[in-house]
Chain A
Amino acid sequence: MSDQQNAPNLDRGILIFSIWAVFGFLGLGVVLEGFKRDLWAVSAIGIGGIVLAFVAHIIVNGIFDTGFTKGETALGIGAYGLLGLVFIVAAADGGMSKADYYSGLTFFGTLAVGFLAYLSTRHGLRGAFSRFHHKAGDQKAGDGQAVAR
């Protein structure tokens, strides 16, 4: 691939890494600080930082006229699932304080609502549903990839 073809993807990559290195990690730190100090408000600020990183990520995607890459989607869903599991196990264990519990709910609730809002604004309500729901006839012969309507 030539340099010129590579450039937009690389430029996008640099921006995405920069955004998450700053807002993502700082936000994560503040969320953890909230858990440590048992303060919902502090965790909420951290969640705000992570949401800000998502918003900036989506803006960059918009500028480069693209969506999340497969790797980003896998990483995002994987991290969400893993953290969700940890939260559920911790909540079930019963050792969580009230502030921690509400912080966790705010975190996962915000991300879930944000994810749905993203899908519906990017693909429309029906399109967002079709991202998950595929009829058998949508299967392309040979390549095995689903075609979203």
Chain B
Amino acid sequence: MTWLLLYLLFYTAVVLYWARLAAKANGDFETYFSAGHQIAPWVSALVVAGASVSGWLVLGDAGRMASQGFGWPGQLQAGIALALPGVFFFKRFWLIAQRLRLSSQGEVLRAYYQSEFLVVFSTLVAVLFAVGFAGMQLGALSRLLANLSDGMISVSVAATVLSLVLFGYVALGGMRAIGYLGAVQTVLLGAVIVGFAGFAIMSLGGFGTLNQSLQKLAADPANAGLFNVAGVIQFTAGIGREAAVGHEGTALASLGLAMALMGFQASPLAAKIILSTRSPRGIAAGQTWVMAGAFGGLLALFVTALGASALIDPGLAISSLLASLSPWFSAWLFIGLLAGVQLVAGLGLLTAGEALVRHIYKPWFHSGLSRKATVTVTRVVVGLLVLTSVLMQVLTPVTLSVLGGLALPLAFQLWTPLLGITWARWITRPAAITGVGFGIAGVLLTEPFGQAVLSFFGLDLPWGRWPWTLNSSIWGMVPNLAVVLLISLFTQRLRPTEEALDVQQLMHVTLRTSARAAALKTTAWSVVLAWLFLAVGPGLIFGNAAFEGAEGAWLVGLPSLWAWGLLFWALGLGMVWFLSYKMEMASPLHIDIPTFEPPRRLRRDQSAAEQMRLRALLITVGVVFALAVITALTFGQ
């Protein structure tokens, strides 16, 4: 306990040291939101990777492996799945923002699509990440801290203290503190992943013993489900309604998991880091070597080993392992996990705070807000979000995890508008907006949150969570994509906005891919589709026995699906390198991007309209609340 407190104190001191440095460099508020776009590319590469992995993949993947074995091999490809969106979007998104002089995803969506709906949706995703996704992880860590202290620290005290530290550095240092500290947090997170796996494997008696124990486990036919994908798909009614045969981990369930992971780097959080970076020179290296390479390897090998150790001996699950180690080691490992979680939480809070204040409150209700006041209001909003998160961690942890579960699949729905901006200019404004609307519906109808809301109003859906063993990210993306294709087909004659035309000119003329890359296009499509099919798609079924010999002997000394996963992680790394560099999707670029000069528009006094909007908002909220209560009382259960 003493060691844990000492390490926590030291961590807090380091955090506040960097926050102070950042606040000084910010001039208090001048560059609070985007660090003056001066974050070094290598720092940005680390922070993107650290935030993508956060503590969630360590806790979540190891936990899933410990309880369900290798039945979800898609999680072994997490590093590649997380890296792909960055390869597709980051470079072009940075260049567009540079051209239009914008610094966040919401602003780019507003400039390109002129859609307030997409701005609100992007803001909502940021809030879900800040409060739900990060809050869920902070809650887990608070419970862990309470456990480690043998009840001397209660969960509520732990949650409050950890959140105060978080609030302190976000409010003081803004994006700069998140960037500087984030790089350190990422390195520490990577180290403790190795540490956790190392201690677990040593406790078991070595890597050989781990695999021998796994082999013994696999010899029992009752455990077959732990080492197999449960078919390509199972047409069940979903979790909570109808159990799948064997287990829920089908090949397409893994695909859905990979797609949900692809949501993170399409989210406003990842965009915030990229748009605060000095130049796009580090994107290719960051996505290839840091995200897909280093962290992909850590996830495929070390986190899997950690989970597999707990599969053999439940005493090696993260919480038990921490309790059994010497106090200095468990303190160090805990701080590493905390660093990973606080990285994504801090980034989420800043992004959500900025989006709520700069993208919604200021343009709609208070355009006269000064720069300094905007930062002050954002700090207050960040404080309120932290408070909400703490209250939910302590009082309603289940609701928090339900909300947290929405963040990734909803963020994945942003792929279509982002594709429209960066690559597919044929995606029109109405198509992107309607597609996202359908995507949201698809996700909500297959997640407990949407089902609980409908049930509250008396409408019970005949399916549970993730019907047909498909993740809600797929249930959202299928209608999203279908609607985008259909509506785009019929609305090609609509004239885009000036900004959109300029962006299209930039993307498809100035940034036209070279002849060499264009010649490789077919190869690239084939490579990506083949990888998706075999590594995270239906082809996973081949992995069940690909590395098994006669009578089920393991050919490489590892479970077949683990060996399959490691092979496709290595091939995936090659694919990310190929797309980033050879296809020039994320490669360094050395051209000057002149600033776009928008057509001059007359600025009118907005105060009367803003007053009216505020009044309309209050009335709408009142009416909707009253209608909700009446409906729930009439039809609800």
Interface residues of A (CB under 8 A from B): 1, 3-4, 6-7, 10-11, 13-14, 17-18, 21-22, 25-26, 28-29, 32-33, 36
Distance between Cα atoms of A29 and B188 in the complex (Å): 15
> B22-50: contact bitstring with A at CB < 8 Å (1 yes, 0 no)?
00010000000000101010110000000
Q: Please name all residues of chain A whose beta carbon is closer than 8 Å to the beta carbon of B18 when the two chains form the complex.
A: 17
Q: Which of B42, B191, B328, B329 interacts with A21 by CB under 8 Å?
A: B191
Are B328's CB and A32's CB within 8 A? yes
Are B332's CB and A29's CB within 8 A? yes
Q: Please name all residues of chain A whose beta carbon is closer than 8 Å to the beta carbon of B332 when the two chains form the complex.
A: 25-26, 29
Distance between Cα atoms of A26 and B331 in the complex (Å): 11
Question: When A and B form their complex, what is the total count of cross-chain residue pairs whose Cβ atoms lie within 8 Å?
Answer: 50
Q: Which of B38, B183, B188 interacts with A3 by CB under 8 Å?
A: B38
Are A10's CB and B180's CB within 8 A? yes
Distance between Cα atoms of A17 and B21 in the complex (Å): 14
Are A6's CB and B25's CB within 8 A? yes
Q: Please name all residues of chain B whose beta carbon is closer than 8 Å to the beta carbon of A13 when the two chains form the complex.
A: 21, 180
Residues 179 to 228 of chain B near chain A (Cβ within 8 Å): 180, 183-184, 187-188, 191, 195
Judged by a CB distance under 8 angstroms, whether B326 is at the interface is yes
Distance between Cα atoms of A143 and B329 in the complex (Å): 46
Are A22's CB and B328's CB within 8 A? no
Judged by a CB distance under 8 angstroms, whether B398 is at the interface is no
Q: Shortest CB–CB separation between residue B324 and chain A, in angstroms?
A: 13
Instruction: Known contacts A3-B25, A21-B188, A26-B191; decide if A14 and B328 are in contact (CB<8 Å).
Output: no
Q: Shortest CB–CB separation between residue A27 and chain B, in angstroms?
A: 11
Are A17's CB and B25's CB within 8 A? no
Q: Shortest CB–CB separation between residue B36 and chain A, in angstroms?
A: 5
Are B329's CB and A18's CB within 8 A? no
Are B40's CB and A11's CB within 8 A? yes
Are B40's CB and A7's CB within 8 A? yes
Distance between Cα atoms of A6 and B21 in the complex (Å): 10
Contact sample, A vs B, 7 pairs, CB 8 Å cutoff: A1-B25, A3-B25, A18-B183, A21-B184, A21-B188, A25-B332, A33-B326
Q: Shortest CB–CB separation between residue A144 and chain B, in angstroms?
A: 27
Q: Which of A11, A28, A36 interacts with B43 by CB under 8 Å?
A: A11
Q: Which of A1, A6, A22, A32 interacts with B188 by CB under 8 Å?
A: A22
Are A33's CB and B36's CB within 8 A? no
Q: Please name all residues of chain B whose beta carbon is closer than 8 Å to the beta carbon of A1 when the two chains form the complex.
A: 25
Q: Please name all residues of chain A whose beta carbon is closer than 8 Å to the beta carbon of B328 when the two chains form the complex.
A: 28-29, 32-33
Q: Please name all residues of chain B whose beta carbon is closer than 8 Å to the beta carbon of A26 when the two chains form the complex.
A: 191, 195, 332
Return the chain B residue nearest A37 by Cβ: B326
Distance between Cα atoms of A32 and B332 in the complex (Å): 13
Are B187's CB and A18's CB within 8 A? yes
Q: Please name all residues of chain A whose beta carbon is closer than 8 Å to the beta carbon of B183 when the two chains form the complex.
A: 14, 18
Judged by a CB distance under 8 angstroms, whether B14 is at the interface is yes
Q: Please name all residues of chain A whose beta carbon is closer than 8 Å to the beta carbon of B188 when the two chains form the complex.
A: 18, 21-22
12 more contacts with CB within 8 A, not counting A4-B38, A33-B329, are A1-B25, A3-B38, A13-B21, A14-B43, A18-B188, A21-B184, A21-B191, A28-B328, A29-B326, A29-B329, A32-B326, A33-B326
Return the chain B residue nearest A23 by Cβ: B191
Q: Please name all residues of chain A whose beta carbon is closer than 8 Å to the beta carbon of B326 when the two chains form the complex.
A: 29, 32-33, 36
Distance between Cα atoms of A29 and B43 in the complex (Å): 27
Distance between Cα atoms of A6 and B14 in the complex (Å): 19
Return the chain A residue nearest B190 by Cβ: A22
Q: Which of A4, A10, A18, A29 interacts with B21 by CB under 8 Å?
A: A10
Q: Please name all residues of chain B whose beta carbon is closer than 8 Å to the beta carbon of A32 when the two chains form the complex.
A: 326, 328
Closest A-B pairs by Cβ, 3 of them:
A18-B187, A3-B38, A22-B191
Q: Shortest CB–CB separation between residue B43 and chain A, in angstroms?
A: 6
Return the chain B residue nearest A4 by Cβ: B38
Q: Shortest CB–CB separation between residue B205 and chain A, in angstroms?
A: 17
Distance between Cα atoms of A10 and B21 in the complex (Å): 9
Return the chain B residue nearest A11 by Cβ: B40
Q: Please name all residues of chain A whose beta carbon is closer than 8 Å to the beta carbon of B191 when the two chains form the complex.
A: 21-22, 26
Are B184's CB and A18's CB within 8 A? yes
Q: Which of A7, A25, A28, A29 interacts with B38 by CB under 8 Å?
A: A7
Are B195's CB and A14's CB within 8 A? no
Distance between Cα atoms of A10 and B43 in the complex (Å): 10
Are B180's CB and A14's CB within 8 A? yes
Distance between Cα atoms of A14 and B180 in the complex (Å): 6
Q: Please name all residues of chain B whose beta carbon is closer than 8 Å to the beta carbon of A11 when the two chains form the complex.
A: 40, 42-43
Q: Please name all residues of chain A whose beta carbon is closer than 8 Å to the beta carbon of B184 when the two chains form the complex.
A: 14, 17-18, 21
Residues 217 to 274 of chain B near chain A (Cβ within 8 Å): none
Q: Please name all residues of chain B whose beta carbon is closer than 8 Å to the beta carbon of A17 when the two chains form the complex.
A: 14, 18, 184
Return the chain B residue nearest A16 by Cβ: B184
Distance between Cα atoms of A11 and B39 in the complex (Å): 10
Distance between Cα atoms of A30 and B328 in the complex (Å): 9
Return the chain B residue nearest A19 by Cβ: B187
Q: Please name all residues of chain A whose beta carbon is closer than 8 Å to the beta carbon of B195 when the two chains form the complex.
A: 26
